[in-house]
Amino acid sequence: MGVPLGKEGPGLEDLLADHERAFLERLGPGPRPRIFFAPGRVNLFGAHLDYNGGPVMPTAIDRGTFVAFRPRPDRVVRLASTLDDETFEADLESLPSRPQGRWFDYPLGVLRELRARVAERGRAAGVRGWEVLFGGNLPIGAGLSSSASMCVATAHALDAHWGLGMDPMGLVECALHAERAFVGVQCGIMDPYAVGLARPNHLLWLDCKDASWAHLPIDFERVSIGVADSGVRRELAQGEFNRRVQECAQAFARLRGYADGAECLRDVELDVLDAHPLGGDVGRRARHVLTEVGRAFAARDALRSGDVARMGALMTETHASLRDLYDVSCPELDLLVDAAVDGEGVYGARLTGAGFGGCVVMLIERGAEESVAGRVGERFAARFGRRPPIELFGGDEGPREIPIR
């Protein structure tokens, strides 16, 4: 489990037992549910590169979404969440064809996707409904990919229920399709890949231009991954995120004529931008993207040669670029990064996820975790009057069914 620094958190078994109890209370007595889990993720390198065709380097974390799941004898689907009192209910034949602007759009998108696959196999008439309670131990909207975690976990549970026999890539594709085609988020490919292809003690190197990937080992004897939550959640972040996607598309449209054969912004060389400055926000967004591509490759080299100090320095440079060129930071995130790197025991730190609030990820020297958490927590409290949750995350083995006792 992710360990809250300074106190022991509840173990996974206790959390799952609570979740099972909550399921039976909420959805009624009957057979015990099965429980599926998918992790969240934290991204270390390649900030805002996935939708620009660049490389990213995330890792899954040992916190995520619980899906407690029970088949029904009829064709009704019921979706409930520990975070909401409303239960969505519909017949499999009359599922909404448009998103409802609610949390259950994500599992609905996955459900529609899997139902289509069942129909392709000519088995639609025989399938039964199910009821599910979503929950887990991942903060929502904190940049740790709660939506991809929920989509992948739902895909896995439904795959088991309907006996489709999908492999991890199949789950990833379903999750991605649900978010893009049904929910309508213009997201890149990083999150479901990071969740679906998780491997403990490894980062995922994912090249978002051709979706090729590899697992890169990281030495957790030497470093810990710490995450500090600013507590800031921005309602309008989705609109701002989509604006960054559009600004990058504009940058590419204006630069591609000077870059032979370029298929995405990642392919444009930095000196092309220097020779043809774009000016304004679009120019600053492009400069972040092109310098970040260089940092991601440099970080992979540093990881391979065991140069943790270099990796950390690159992370902190990324934060400055996200703050000054991409405009996705905020005072709380900046303070967390400054407090982390301004002292012993931290190799580097940056905001993770889309930004506009959420979390900072820190590469911490093994053994220094408590002192770093103390320093960062105090500096944050002195300025903002509250202590930020700071946790250490372990890696995770990816989506799975968890047997309950």
Which residue's CB is nearer to ligand GLA, number 47 or number 155?
47
What lies within 8 Å, CB to CB, of 2 at 6+ separation is 9, 61, 62, 63, 137, 227, 391, 392, 393, 394
Cβ nearer to ligand GLA, comparing 43 with 316: 43
Phi and psi, residue 188, nearest 5°: -80, -170
Backbone dihedral angles phi then psi of residue 288, each to the nearest 5 degrees: -60, -50
Task: Name residues contacting ligand GLA, limited to 48-107 (CB under 6 A).
Answer: 48, 50-51
Rounded distance between C-alpha atoms, residue 178 and residue 113, angstroms = 7
**Residue closer to ligand GLA (CB basis): 173 or 365:** 173
Q: Which of residues 158-187 bind ligand GLA (CB under 6 A)?
A: 187
Residue 379 burial (CB count, 10 A): 18
Stretch of 28-36, 47-55, 63-71, 280-288 contacting ligand GLA, by CB under 6 A: 47-55
Burial 336-372 (b: 16+ CB within 10 A, else e): bbebbbeeebbbbbbbbbbbbbbbbbbbbbeebbeeb
Positions in 183-222 near ligand GLA (CB under 6 A) = 187-188, 190-191
292 contributes a contact to ligand GLA by CB under 6 A: no
* Distance separating alpha carbons of residues 54 and 165, to the nearest angstrom: 31
State yes or no: residue 47 binds ligand GLA (CB under 6 A).
Answer: yes
Strand-strand pairing, 130-136 and 76-81: parallel
Q: How far is the CB of 121 from ligand GLA (least distance, A)?
A: 31
Q: Which is nearer to ligand GLA, 246 or 305 (CB)?
A: 246
Residue closest to 373 by CA, chosen among 385, 362, 382, 384: 362
Among 133, 296, 354, 362, binds ligand GLA (CB under 6 A): 354
Closer residue to ligand GLA in complex, CB, 50/391: 50
Q: Could you tell me the smallest distance in angstroms from the CB atom of residue 196 to ligand GLA?
A: 14
Decide if residue 152 touches ligand GLA (CB under 6 A). no
Q: How far apart are CA 350 and CA 187, in angstroms?
A: 20
Number of residues counted as binding ligand GLA (CB under 6 A) = 11
CB proximity list for 269: less than 8 A, separation 6 or greater: 259, 290
Residue nearest ligand GLA, Cβ-based: 354
Minimum distance, C-beta of residue 354 to ligand GLA, in the bound complex (Å)? 3
| Shortest reach from residue 353's CB to ligand GLA, in Å | 4
Residue 191 known to be catalytic: yes
Of residues 2, 39, 312, 353, which one binds ligand GLA by CB under 6 A? Answer: 353
Residues of span 7-46 touching ligand GLA by CB under 6 A: 43
Q: Are 371 and 345 spatial neighbours (Cβ–Cβ below 8 Å)? A: yes
- Which tokens go with 96? 């909404």
Nearer to ligand GLA, 92 or 354 (CB): 354
Q: Give the Cα separation of 169 and 37 in Å (integer).
A: 16
Question: Which one is catalytic: 191, 229, 267, 396?
Answer: 191
User: Which residues form the catalytic set?
Assistant: 191
- The footprint of ligand GLA (CB under 6 A) covers 43, 47-48, 50-51, 187-188, 190-191, 353-354
